[in-house]
């Protein structure tokens, strides 16, 4: 069924009786060409692009809970391509371009809102680093503007420019950055994949892999064994646990990240704003709530809830740049499990087991990567070769000494 203004009008005039479910609830078949483990944003996008771009439809997406119940429905919805390194920038710019055409492509309102993202800087060296990053972005085809203090003041007069510890001296602006309605992304990809024949099977946990003589021939699930020529794991925060079932230990740790939403306010914030001297970022949702977050809690966990010291730390970051946030009442907080890699960059790769593929290590930036991740994982699964923008997202990069360390933090997953 195609969604359109005409369809809404017709249904409105005829009692809304013609809407059909957005996807089916199929029973698992005995075998598939490709099984994707995890119906988060990346798994669903992979299924969608496999079907749409490569004509492969004998595919199942297996989800242990409900579709979109993981990080794709828990994140703070920010999209951007303001990366520096050649291993990352072209990939995130590909994602940005896919976001820009996504709603027309999958015929679903994902509320793509390119209101801009502004990274604040607070010192001269930081301004130099932003200038370098901006130049790197422009060289790979993205947009970037360096603002001085007056430029930032014009956009965001409510910021605390004269804070004694963290004076705001300027910022790096990417106007094409912004926000996208997170769960609508999962629903749109799911609907598009289902429409093309992909089976999305919810409440079906993968509990093991069938691996014989170094070849993966299927998975064990809570709903029975299912055979497949290729198995593509895509489980974000559960990566370590799931790949351990295949005997693999990943260069990934799981950490919790919290998000916060205030009561609805009048339009206040033009786009996304990030603090440059601590970890705090904020945007305003279409319903008016200020949506903000900060650092991970900093210890390994699989629990989807965080602790008060980080709540305090995030709120301090907010107060340092925009004291007016202290008057907003907090409505909701929650947590999600981040698959933090050792260098802060992701993996889209084959494994040493034939037929077993891995996608993960997205840290807290994987939402913006959703379309490109699906696009590149589908390319790898269909052709056997990495996509040209994802050639450095290999599992063996640490062994070879090729870290993609965007922040220059070293092998410290809790610092990326």
Ligand X SMILES: Cc1cc2nc3c(=O)[nH]c(=O)nc-3n(C[C@H](O)[C@H](O)[C@H](O)COP(=O)(O)OP(=O)(O)OC[C@H]3O[C@@H](n4cnc5c(N)ncnc54)[C@H](O)[C@@H]3O)c2cc1C
Q: Which residues lie near ligand X (CB under 6 A)?
A: 37-43, 62-65, 69-72, 74-78, 205-206, 234-238, 242, 257-259, 293, 336, 362, 364-368
Neighbours of 323 (CB within 10 A): 13
Q: Kindly state the smallest distance separating residue 13's Cβ from ligand X, in Å.
A: 37
Q: Name the closest residue to ligand X (Cβ).
A: 40
CB nearer to ligand X: give 42 or 191: 42
Q: How far apart are the first and last CA of the chain?
A: 43
Q: Kindly state the smallest distance separating residue 232's Cβ from ligand X, in Å.
A: 12
Q: Which 8-state DSSP code applies to residue 28?
A: P
Q: Kindly state the smallest distance separating residue 299's Cβ from ligand X, in Å.
A: 15
CB nearer to ligand X: give 40 or 355: 40
Q: Kindly state the smallest distance separating residue 152's Cβ from ligand X, in Å.
A: 21
CB nearer to ligand X: give 43 or 344: 43
CB nearer to ligand X: give 170 or 336: 336
Q: Which 8-state DSSP code applies to residue 367?
A: T
Helices (H), 196-270: 239-244
Q: Do residues 189 and 49 touch, judged by C-beta distance below 8 A? A: no
CB nearer to ligand X: give 195 or 339: 339
CB nearer to ligand X: give 169 or 395: 395
Strands 170-174, 178-179: pairing is: unpaired
Quote the CA–CA distance of 293 and 334 in Å, as a whole number: 10
Quote the CA–CA distance of 416 and 410 in Å, as a whole number: 9
CB nearer to ligand X: give 169 or 378: 378
Neighbours of 2 (CB within 10 A): 7
Q: Kindly state the smallest distance separating residue 160's Cβ from ligand X, in Å.
A: 23
Which residues are CB-neighbours of 34 under 8 A, at least 6 positions away? 50, 56, 58, 59, 60, 228, 229, 230, 231, 232, 381
Q: Kindly state the smallest distance separating residue 379's Cβ from ligand X, in Å.
A: 17
Structure-token pair, residue 113 = 């809102």
Q: Kindly state the smallest distance separating residue 148's Cβ from ligand X, in Å.
A: 27
Quote the CA–CA distance of 64 and 219 in Å, as a whole number: 13
H-run or E-run covering 61: strand 59-62
């Amino acid at each position: 069924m195609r969604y359109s203004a005409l369809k809404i009008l017709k249904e409105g005039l005829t009692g809304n009786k013609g809407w059909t479910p957005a996807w089916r609830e199929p029973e698992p078949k005995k075998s598939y060409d490709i099984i994707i483990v995890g119906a988060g944003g990346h798994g669903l996008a992979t299924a969608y692009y496999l079907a749409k771009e490569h004509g492969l439809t004998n595919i199942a997406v297996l989800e242990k809970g409900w579709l979109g119940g993981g990080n794709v429905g828990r994140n703070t919805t920010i999209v951007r391509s303001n990366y520096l390194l050649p291993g990352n920038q072209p990939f995130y710019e590909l994602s940005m371009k896919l976001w820009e055409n996504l709603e027309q492509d999958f015929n679903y309102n994902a509320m793509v809102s390119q209101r801009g993202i502004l990274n604040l800087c607070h010192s001269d060296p930081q301004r130099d680093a932003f200038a370098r990053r901006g130049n790197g972005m422009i060289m790979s085809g993205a947009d970037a503007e360096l603002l001085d203090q007056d430029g930032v003041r014009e956009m965001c007069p409510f910021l605390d420019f004269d804070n004694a510890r963290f004076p705001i001296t300027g910022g790096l602006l990417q106007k094409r950055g912004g926000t996208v309605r997170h769960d609508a992304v999962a629903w749109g990809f799911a609907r598009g994949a289902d429409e093309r024949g992909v089976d999305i099977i919810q409440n079906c946990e993968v509990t093991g892999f069938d691996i014989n003589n170094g070849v993966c021939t299927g998975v064990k699930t809570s709903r029975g064994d299912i055979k497949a020529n290729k198995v593509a794991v895509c489980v974000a925060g559960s990566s370590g646990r799931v790949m351990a079932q295949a005997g693999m230990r990943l260069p990934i740790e799981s950490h919790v990240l919290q998000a916060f939403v205030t009561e609805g306010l009048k339009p206040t914030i033009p786009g996304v704003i990030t603090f440059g001297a601590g970890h705090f970022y904020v945007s305003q949702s279409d319903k008016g709530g200020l949506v903000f977050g900060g650092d991970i809690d900093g210890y390994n966990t699989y629990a989807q809830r965080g602790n008060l010291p980080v709540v305090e730390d995030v709120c301090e970051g907010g107060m340092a740049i925009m004291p007016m946030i202290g008057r907003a009442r907090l409505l909701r907080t929650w947590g999600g499990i981040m698959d933090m890699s050792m260098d802060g960059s992701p993996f889209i790769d084959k494994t040493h087991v034939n037929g077993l593929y891995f996608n993960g290590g997205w840290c807290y930036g994987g939402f913006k990567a959703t379309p490109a991740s699906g696009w590149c994982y589908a390319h790898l699964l269909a052709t056997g070769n990495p996509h040209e923008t994802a050639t450095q997202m290999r599992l063996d990069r640490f062994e070879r000494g090729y870290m993609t360390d965007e922040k220059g933090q070293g092998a410290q997953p809790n610092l990326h």
